[in-house]
Amino acid sequence: MKTGVAHKSYGVALPMNHGKLDKLFRLLPIWRKGLTYSLNQWCRELFETGSLSTWQSTKTFPNHLSQRQWDSVSRQAKAAFDSWLTNRQNEFRGLVYHSTLEDDLKRDLYEINLRYAWYEHSDDKTHHMARRLMKHLRRRNRIPDLSKCRTMDMDGKIARIENAKNTKCERWAVVSTLESGKPIRVPILADRKLDENLFLNNETLSNHLTIRFNLDGSVNGKLITTLPKAEKRTQGGTLGLDWGMDCMFALSDGRLLGIRMFDWLKQRDTELIELTRALQRNGVKPSKSRRYRNLQRRIRAYYRNEIGRLFNQLSKEQVKEIVVEELDFRNPNLSHKMNRLLTRTGRAAAEAKLKRIQELDGVTVTEINPAYTSQQCSHCGYTARDNRPARDLFRCKCCGTTLHADINASRNILSRRSRENGWRSIRKQEIVRILNSEHANRYAHHDDHLVGDAQTSGATPRRIQPYKRLEKTGVKVSKSTTKYYLKSHSYSAAAFMATAPT
């Protein structure tokens, strides 16, 4: 893929007659067999040689597809395999990060994982551990089954996009079928935005067509355009973004976006649960119900549109950088089925949109480790589980700061940007140790710090001296009181006793 080039896709209608549609449907099962065969070859190459080549020679493949068709099939299978490998790479990194392995072994595993080198021909301890972890991940997430794929990705060799002649459509695609030398011309009805952007935004139409076969027997497609990537923004603010519980996004500047969305999702969740129960009582699998599939499709479309709308809104503002945490779209108020649906849909949509605003709008996206951002006070830095008495309320037990829990988390996400690599390469235990240590040191050096000091920042938090609260009430600080504060505020003993009154 060319560097410095971004890609956009546009949905199109393919209003063809029954004869052309029948030829495409006859191609689909052969295409599926080709995808399965090609994917098996890619898997064998990785597991036997320990690496993957950039392309696959298809000259020795079965002859039920032409050589040009095999090239498109191979690229589609490789794209599916690359996507699966990327997901396993992320999970591998998470397993190593949360493990109790030695730091040197972790570092070597990170390096192997970065190169997709889990199956290199080496019998050292690190590669043996890498293969064990990948075996575990492969059991949890099987390699994709392309025998049921309903999409055909065709490049310009077998789906040439041309300007139509003597038809009502502006374009058609000359598509190769199973009959050699007898392609079909598929009419293309594109959205008006495509022509507008081709004229205004310096976009170029690629010679590529994606055909999707829907369960109801209809067929639609997608066209791809290319355009130069935008230059990185050098002016504007930096926003911390937290995936909220009762809203889509919470921003470090105090805004909550997508507040009404979860009310809508809650109503659809109730419909989904009731429909599932009704189908089960009648002995019908939900996947076989058209009404169930339509409801899920409606939820996915709404969720994707909301994510796109909100990110478009942010990209139009004077923002040069967005700091985000690891994607998690689960909500305790929604059912397991709904959370699974939103997680799959939301993660894919958000990742695609974040990539798009980087390429097309020049906004920098920085990811950080979100550990303890929901428990840390963005004003004084005190970290404790008790700081969140309710799901949407944050009240610091140390300085008394009170604000929306998601906004507090977004400010911590923003401040963590200044940490080395966003603290993405260190464990949670190390993070909380550093936070507690910094908090204790600030407590030792700022005797005049008052409760609720508005000048305190999230990047350089300060803490109060809790024993002064007791002094104001005339209570003598005893050893038992000291132990209580050590336990409830996670102070280090050395820092506490060094500054405690005598």
Structure confidence by residue, pLDDT tens digits, 161-212: 998 876 778 899 999 999 988 999 999 998 888 888 887 777 899 999 999 9
Amino acid at 178: L
Residue 345: the pLDDT is 72
User: Would you say residue 25 has pLDDT above 50?
Assistant: yes
- What's the mean pLDDT in 358-363? 92
Q: Are 342 and 272 in contact (CB under 8 A)?
A: no
Average model confidence (pLDDT) across the chain: 83
Same domain flag for 393 and 440 = yes
Q: Do residues 324 and 261 share a domain?
A: yes
Question: Which of 87, 118, 148 is where one domain is finished?
Answer: 148
* Residues above pLDDT 90, as percent of the chain: 47
Q: Determine the pLDDT at residue 457.
A: 35
Once rounded to an integer, what is the mean pLDDT over residues 462-470?
39
CA-closest candidate to residue 459, choices 406, 412, 397, 404: 412
In a shared domain, residues 395 and 476: yes
Same domain, 359 and 391: no
The rounded radius of gyration (Å) of the Cα atoms in the chain is 28
For residue 200, with 0-12 CB atoms within 10 Å meaning exposed, 13-18 middle and 19 or more buried, which class applies? Answer: exposed
Regarding whether 351 and 268 lie in a shared domain, the answer is yes
Residues 316 and 389 both lie in one domain: no
Nearest to 327 by CA among 314, 343, 309, 315: 343
- Residue 344, in any domain of the structure: yes
Angle (CA) 137 143 148, round 5° = 150
Domain end, chosen from 123, 148, 173, is at 148
* Crossing angle of the two packed helices 290-315 and 261-281, in degrees rounded to 10: 170
pLDDT digits (tens, 9 = 90+) for 208-231: 999 999 988 899 999 999 988 889
What is the domain extent for residue 185? 5-16+150-228
User: DSSP of 33-77, one letter per residue?
Assistant: HHHHHHHHHHHHHHHHHSS--SS---TTS-TTS-HHHHHHHHHHH
Question: What is the residue type of 377?
Answer: C
Q: Which residue has the higher pLDDT, 493 or 298?
A: 298
pLDDT of 468 higher than 50: no
Residue 92's closest CA among 77, 106, 104, 78?
106
For the segment 51-78, the average pLDDT, to the nearest whole number, is: 92
Closest to 400 in 3D by CA, of 463, 448, 352, 341: 463
The count of domains in the chain is: 4
**Tokens 């794209």 found at:** 79
Instruction: Say if residue 467's pLDDT is above 80.
Output: no
- pLDDT of residue 354 exceeding 50: yes
Helix (H, G, I), strand (E, B) or coil at 164: coil
pLDDT for 254 beyond 80: yes
User: Given this model, what pLDDT does residue 169 score?
Assistant: 84
CB of 439 closer than 8 Å to CB of 376: no
Residues 352, 410 share a domain? no
The pLDDT score that the predictor gives to residue 330 is 63
Average pLDDT over residues 378-393: 89
Residues 174, 185 contacting (CB under 8 angstroms): yes
Least Cα distance to 96 among 408, 325, 424 occurs for: 424
Bigger pLDDT: 326 or 414?
Answer: 414
Residue 37 falls inside a structural domain: yes
Least confident of 296-310, 350-364, 440-454: 440-454
Tell me the pTM: 0.72
Picking from 228, 254, 284, the residue at the C-terminal end of a domain is 228
